[in-house]
Amino acid sequence: MPRFAANLSMMFNERPFLERFAAASQSGFTAVEYLFPYDHPAELVGETLRAAGLEQALFNLPPGDWSKGERGMAALPERKAEFRASVETAVRYGRAIGTPLLHMMAGIADPRSQAAQAAYLDALKFAADATAAAGIGVVIEPINSRDMPGCFLDDFERAAEIVTQVDRRNVGLQFDIYHRQVMRGDVTTALKAFVPLIRHVQVASVPDRHEPGTGELDDFRVLRLLEELGYQAYVGCEYRPKVDTVSGLSWLAATGERPAANETPRDEV
């Protein structure tokens, strides 16, 4: 089975953000991901990560004003200067934390707009070149329009075409099993087709986005396929625990993983 990274934006959020690292480690995870670290000093996040004995799998570039519904700036031509400044911020955080990947969110824009298309390609090339010097990769992720109405990048085939068109060695595809199933289904066929481009995978059950194994898709079959296809990077657990994080971790037993994740962390006893 693949290696799993706890998503600290969704998991262990019974605790403040910086306390989630130790909780993930105590629950048996060796890596974490999350949406954004920018509310905390970069050095502090990096120190917290390392103190917990964890690796960083991925986090996102700044999205704009999240509280106002912004979900990235890459496809917004009028936000070009702000986007480029956000890349500099993300690279600084990426260096301090030690992430191998940054996810570039597309934003809310009409995918048919030529201006949005041109802005997105320009943004991706800029981000790729800026992060390459730091040894960091960039991934793009198709997101379903049910969860994020109006998302510019809402199609896996188009995302794969963009990765190929940009032709940067440090640019790849982020394949979210949940989003693919909601969009089009046909998950295993898509994985087989896109695996040469995939740098990061995320998992959650469909339709409620809870723990793997609680929805309509055989998540464990999909995870076994990843292993068969030679995928070696982390799988991010980007799901909302149905009840609480720790009690919901019993799904790991079905993957063959039996870490301390199935037990209550010491400071919760």
Per the DSSP assignment, residues forming a β-bridge with 7 are: 33
Tokens of 9: 């934006």
Q: Is the dihedral of CA 75, 81, 83, 87 positive or negative?
A: positive
Residue 142 main-chain phi, psi, to 5 deg: -70, 135
How far apart are alpha carbons 197 and 170 in whole angstroms? 10
Residue 102 main-chain phi, psi, to 5 deg: -125, 135
> Treating both helix axes as pointing N-terminal to C-terminal, what angle do 156-166 and 114-132 enclose, rounded to 10 degrees?
60
CB of 29 closer than 8 Å to CB of 3: no
Catalytic residue, candidates 33, 47, 70, 238 = 238
How far apart are alpha carbons 105 and 148 in whole angstroms? 12
State yes or no: is 47 an active-site residue.
Answer: no
How far apart are alpha carbons 248 and 137 in whole angstroms? 31
Taking Cα atoms as reference points, which of 3, 82, 132 lies closest to residue 73? 82
Q: Are strands 137-140 and 101-103 parallel, antiparallel or unpaired?
A: parallel
Vertex 252, ends 249 and 256: CA angle to 5°?
160
Catalytic residue, candidates 70, 82, 141, 257 = 141
State yes or no: is 78 an active-site residue.
Answer: no
Looking at the annotation, which residues are catalytic? Answer: 141, 238
